[in-house]
Structure 1
Amino acid sequence: MPAAALVATVATGASAAPVWTGDFETGDVSQWNTSLNGEHISVVTSPVLQGTRAGQIQLTNDAVWPGNGIKRVELNHKPAAGRTAEGAQTYFAWSFYLPEALAADPPTQIGYWESDGSYNQVMSFEVVGQNISFATRKPANKVHWQANGAVTPGVWHRIALHVKWSTNPSQGSVDVWFDGEQVVTAGQAQTLADGNPHFTQLGLLRNPSEFTDSPILILDDAVEGDTL
């Protein structure tokens, strides 16, 4: 699949050249701004969606983030200056592969957007077993979409977003596609927590808890663009 295709099979079939790509074809994680608990991240040659490489993320019980106890292994992408400003629009997509289904308990976040500096999450995707949901956080937590049994292991899945950025919940909105099907259309939300730039983090995150599994997520073909 070409990296230019933000959504693999949207109805329009349209695509555009990305302004940023995170596909690990460099052989490392240098395309990303930073990594969190990066010792648990590696570049692999199988499975891959496109090209010859993908990123492997493994969450273990000792992958604790200092200060808050959150268990996390993630890659961070910060769009260029102004691309998440009031009134701006962002298209972003990525593909993921789970060798085994994630645990039903505790829940696992696999991707979200957050404000830089103030660190307020504004939207996220959460997986419980093979079930997935998308929620925005402001002005109040709202689940816009959930699908039971959709996150099948051993299969590549693709998520795409179109975000209209605003601190005004009547002006901000989100469109979401999952595996080429639009599942959220113009979901209204306060998509900016404040006036800070916003970034995305992809990987595996669990709130403070003890667990015995060591889930693995493979990430490939992440792209940011101006249109689908």
Structure 2
Amino acid sequence: MKRLLKLAPFALLLPTLASASVVWKGDFETGNLSQWDREQSVSSSRLQVVSASVREGRYALKTIVRQGDDPINASGNRNELLYLSREATGSEYFYKWSTLFPSSFPRSSKWQIFTQWHHDGNGGSPPLEFYVVNDELLLRAGGSNGKIVYRAPLRREHWNDFVLHVKWSPDPRVGFLELYHNGKLALPLTKVATQYSGQRNYLKLGLYRDESIAPEGVVLHDGFTMATKLEDVMPPVVAAPAPVTNPAPSHPAPVTRPGEGSASEQPSPIAQVPSSSDEATPGSGGIVPDDPMLGTGMVPAASCGASSTGGTPLLVVVALALVAMLGRRKQAPAYARARRSRSPRR
């Protein structure tokens, strides 16, 4: 019993350790922007924490950009949040978030960036960026002359659920990207440079677009999570239970009349997403002196989120094993006494 009590504290830690891979959350569940390090916006009304349209939890971010919004006196118009993650070369992370483009989101042949990992150098396009051109989503690595590694049709009024797996490195033989889009593997692991040499990256979320776009742009973001394990940003899909098969009856089966019984439904095949040949290049997103990093050297999505109970099954197994061990220790003395009582006395 004493041994069981000594092991109990370690068993209680198991559920906590199961979700220890979550590094940071910017999911707005605080009801404000306090999870993020800095804002780049012309007004607080351009970056709103809202509860009317969310993907998970209670709150999401509504980003609004109007022509002329230029809070840092650089190219383009923007309103963005910054998280100074400063991913080191050789580090590896999973990033999960959801983005919705309303029906009013402008259709333009110019670039509109909604998520980017910017470098801490002075000027130039970021080494990793998600953006929209016309009616297409694109992911590009390597800046303005880099490689578009993923593209998909833009669906308005639909939550796009992203899980991005990144190995950060300026070496294309070491760095890589892997993308899950709406719960499916959209980009298999692809070797590519994800950093510029000698520089670290930081996250920017919101909307940043070419200054020639006139209509108001609105984008919603929700659920941003940074972790070191896939299971803490995209829990496995639970398979549907197998149909129960009734045992064969011992008496003759009744005759089925016409019209009785039911037919099983078969799932329809998943449509393949067509690709487009249209593309445009986002302009350079120069960093101005007030940028915080300048010169530092530095699925099924509604259920997505960090697991807090992943260790529970293991806890049950440990507890049962300890109880069984204790039971065997109690049985041994009783068995010995029984043998002595049956043995003839000498």
For Structure 1 versus Structure 2, the TM-score category normalised by the shorter chain is 0.7 to 0.9
2:219 to 214, 217, 220: 217
Could you tell me whether the CA contact under 8 Å between 1:100 and 1:215 is conserved in 2? no
CA distance in 1, matches of 2:129, 2:72: 22
Deviation at 1:48, TM superposition (A): 0.9
1:191 to 179, 190, 194: 194
Residues 1:86 and 2:92 aligned together = no
Unaligned runs of 5+ in 1: 1-14
CA distance in 2, matches of 1:222, 1:101: 24
> Which residue identity does 1:214 align to in structure 2?
E
Residue of structure 2 in register with 1:112 after alignment: 116
Residues 44-53 or 187-196, more deviating? 187-196
Alignment deviations for residues 14-61 of structure 1 (CA, whole Å, 9 cap, x no partner): x87521111111111110111111621011111011111111100111
Deviation at 1:112, TM superposition (A): 1.2
Residues 1:48 and 2:54 aligned together = yes
Residue of structure 1 in register with 2:30 after alignment: 26
Change over 3 Å in CA distance of 1:139–1:53 after alignment to 2? closer
Secondary structure in 2 aligned to 1:99?
Answer: coil
Matches within 5 A, 1:19-168: 19-37=23-41, 39=43, 40-79=46-85, 84-100=87-103, 102-105=105-108, 106-118=110-122, 120=124, 121-137=126-142, 140-148=145-153, 151-168=154-171
The structure number with the bigger radius of gyration is 2
Higher-strand-fraction structure:
1
Deviation at 1:117, TM superposition (A): 4.1
The Cα RMSD (Å) is 2.2
Number of aligned residue pairs: give it: 209
Higher-helix-fraction structure:
2
Could you tell me whether the CA contact under 8 Å between 2:104 and 2:218 is conserved in 1? no
Could you tell me whether the CA contact under 8 Å between 1:102 and 1:130 is conserved in 2? no
Instruction: Quote the sequence identity (%).
Output: 25
